[in-house]
Structure 1
Amino acid sequence: MKIRLFCLGLLFLLSNIANSQELPGNPLSVALGDPYIIYDDKQDTYYLYGTGGTKNGFVVYSSKDLKDWENEGVIYTNLQEKSWGTKDFWAPEVYKWNDKFYLFYSAHWKENPNNELENYKIGVAVSDKPTGPFIDIDDKPLFDPGYPIIDANVYVSEDGKKYLYYSRCCYKHPVESEIAAWAKKKGLYDEIEESWVYGVELKPDLSGVIGESKLLLRPPVEINDKQAEWESRSVNNAEINRRWTEGSYLFKHNNLYYMMYSANHYAGPYYAVGYATSKNPLGPFKKSATNPVLEKNNDKGGDVTGTGHNSIFVGKDGKMYCVYHGRTTKTGNDRVVFIDPIEIDSQGVLKVHGPTTNN
Structure 2
Amino acid sequence: MVHFAALLAFAASLLPAAALAKLKPTRWHTNGTYINNATTAAADPYVRWDQNTGAYWAYSTEGADSGWYFAIYTSPDLATWSKIPGGAIKSDSANIWAQDWWWAPECYYNEKTGWYFLFHAGRFLNQSKVAEYFKYPDFEEASKIGVAVSRSPSGPFVSIADRPIDYYPFDPDYDDVNLLMQPPYLVPPASHEAGETAPKGTYIPSIDPNVFWDDDGSIWLFFSRNAYRNWVWSDEFGKYIEESNIYTVRLDDAWWHDPHAKTLPTVHKSFRDVHQGAPAGWTTSVNASFPGPTRKDGWVPVISYKLQPQVWENAHVNDHAASGGSLKDRRWSEGSTTIKRYDSNGSPVYFLTYSANNYASPDYGIGYAVSDKVSGPYYKSGSNPVLSQDASRAIFSTGHGSIVASGADPAELYYPHHARPSPSSSRHLYTARLFVEPDLLYLGFGTDAGDLRLPLGVAPLSIKAEPAASANGSYEVVVRSASGAKFDLANPINRVRVEVAGAGASATVDGPLVNVDKNGANAKGQTTVRFVYERARSNATLPWTPVSQVRGIGEGDVVDLTISV
TM-score (normalizing by structure 1): 0.86
In structure 2, how many angstroms separate the alpha carbons of the residues matched to 1:303 and 1:267? 16
1:229 aligns with 2:239: no
> Residue deviations 1:321-346, cap 9 Å, x none?
011111112x8430011101011235
For the Cα contact (< 8 Å) 2:389–2:397, is it kept in 1? yes
The structure with the largest alpha-carbon Rg is: 2
Other-structure match for 2:305: 219
> Residue deviations 1:180-221, cap 9 Å, x none?
42xx5xxxxxx3100111101111124311112111111247
For the Cα contact (< 8 Å) 1:197–1:216, is it kept in 2? yes
Alignment equivalent of 2:51, drawn from 41, 47, 69: 41
For the Cα contact (< 8 Å) 2:48–2:58, is it kept in 1? yes
Alignment of 1:77-116 (within 5 A): 77-97=90-110, 98=112, 99-109=114-124, 110=126, 111-113=129-131, 114-116=137-139
Other-structure match for 1:9: none
Unaligned runs of 5+ in 1: 1-12, 185-190
Other-structure match for 2:211: 154
Question: Which moved further from structure 2: 142-151 or 344-353?
Answer: 344-353
How big is the shift at 1:53? 1.6
Unaligned runs of 5+ in 2: 1-23, 132-136, 170-202, 256-264, 272-297, 343-347, 452-537, 539-565
> Residue deviations 1:16-52, cap 9 Å, x none?
443x796531144211100111111121011011111
Q: Residues 195 and 21 (structure 1 numbering): CA distance in 2 closer, same or farther, change over 3 Å?
A: farther
For the Cα contact (< 8 Å) 2:149–2:158, is it kept in 1? yes
Q: Residues 66 and 14 (structure 1 numbering): CA distance in 2 closer, same or farther, change over 3 Å?
A: farther
For the Cα contact (< 8 Å) 2:38–2:421, is it kept in 1? no
Alignment equivalent of 2:62, drawn from 40, 52, 72: 52
For the Cα contact (< 8 Å) 1:246–1:261, is it kept in 2? yes
Alignment of 1:1-359 (within 5 A): 15-18=26-29, 24-54=34-64, 57-73=69-85, 74-97=87-110, 98=112, 99-109=114-124, 110=126, 111-113=129-131, 114-142=137-165, 143-145=167-169, 146-181=203-238, 184=239, 191-206=240-255, 207-210=265-268, 211=271, 212-220=298-306, 227-235=309-317, 238=322, 240-254=328-342, 255-298=348-391, 301-317=392-408, 318-329=411-422, 332-345=424-437, 346-357=439-450
In structure 1, how many angstroms separate the alpha carbons of the residues matched to 2:248 and 2:89? 26
How big is the shift at 1:95? 0.3
TM-score (normalizing by structure 2): 0.56
In structure 1, how many angstroms separate the alpha carbons of the residues matched to 2:404 and 2:398? 17
In structure 1, how many angstroms separate the alpha carbons of the residues matched to 2:443 and 2:377? 18
- State the one-letter code of the partner of 2:63: G
Q: Structure with the greater relative contact order (CA < 8 A, sep ≥ 6): 1 or 2? A: 2
For the Cα contact (< 8 Å) 2:79–2:431, is it kept in 1? no
For the Cα contact (< 8 Å) 1:174–1:194, is it kept in 2? yes
Structure 1 ranges of 4+ moved more than 4 A: 13-17, 20-23, 236-240
Q: Residues 242 and 208 (structure 1 numbering): CA distance in 2 closer, same or farther, change over 3 Å?
A: same
Q: Residues 179 and 310 (structure 1 numbering): CA distance in 2 closer, same or farther, change over 3 Å?
A: farther
| Same amino acid, percent of matched pairs | 32
How many pairs does the alignment contain?
331
In structure 2, how many angstroms separate the alpha carbons of the residues matched to 1:107 and 1:138? 14
- State the one-letter code of the partner of 1:123: G
SS in 1 for 2:316: helix
In structure 2, how many angstroms separate the alpha carbons of the residues matched to 1:236 and 1:319? 40
Q: Residues 324 and 100 (structure 1 numbering): CA distance in 2 closer, same or farther, change over 3 Å?
A: same
